[in-house]
A = this chain, B = another copy of it.
Amino acid sequence: MSTRVSPGRPFSVSHELILTTAIQIVDEEGADALTLRRLAKSMNSGTATLYRNFESREALIAQVVDRLFAEMEASMPEVAGLGWKQACRMLANHMFTTLRRHRGAAQLLIKAIPNGPNAMIQRERSLAILLNNGFSAPLAARAYATLARYVLGFAIQFSDNGASGEDDAKQAEAFHRLDWSAFPATLFVIGELPLPLDEEFSFGLDLMIYGLSELRKNDSNK
């Protein structure tokens, strides 16, 4: 697969290699492992060389992030024939799945809101679906912004905390130490927790889409 947005400037080959290697590191070892030293070593180079292609670590990360949006765009499911609800669900799930596939990638999106070319294309596509389905400009803007934050917020929380075995053990132990009189509600629902991550995500997503459908009715009637 070729790059969607090519710079066509000096250092482009090296530039390519750096981004590819960076994503590989994020995939295999998480966001914390993406250090300039680690990255340079993977390419048998030194950190100083990286500064020939990128102004700073932050700038490099911004381009890594846009790569992820390019990948999302390339593997985007077909939503043309679907209703807006189903389209929203698929787009949100697709973004969520992509971020989860690249382990700690979601954490890279925190610092700065994605502004790269591929992120812009994705926003355009999403807004167009809403506007073509009777959403007013203010409602479409709100719906898109909130849903995008929702997906990213969940993806961040599910991104890196790999050692669920150890965490779940601690959680279970803490629950067992609770006494009935002080924590009746917690113990009453204890069999339901913790929820599978995907289920938690889908549950909240459906709540929001349902709420949007109600707002849309009033929006259109007005």
Contacts and interface: CB of A to CB of B under 8 A. Distances in A.
A141 B214 contact: no
Contacts of A150: 150, 153, 204
Interface in A94-130: 107, 110-113, 115, 120, 123-125, 127-128
A83 interface: no
Given A153-B154, A154-B153, A189-B127, A111 B161 contact: yes
Nearest to A117: B174
Is the contact region of chain A dominated by helix, strand, or loop, or is it mixed?
Answer: helix
A60 interface: no
Interface of A: 107, 110-113, 115, 120, 123-125, 127-128, 131, 137-138, 140-142, 144-147, 149-150, 152-154, 156-157, 160-161, 167, 170-171, 174, 178, 182-186, 188-189, 191-195, 199-200, 203-204, 206-208, 210-212, 214-215
B160 A153 contact: no
Contacts of A110: 107, 156-157, 160-161
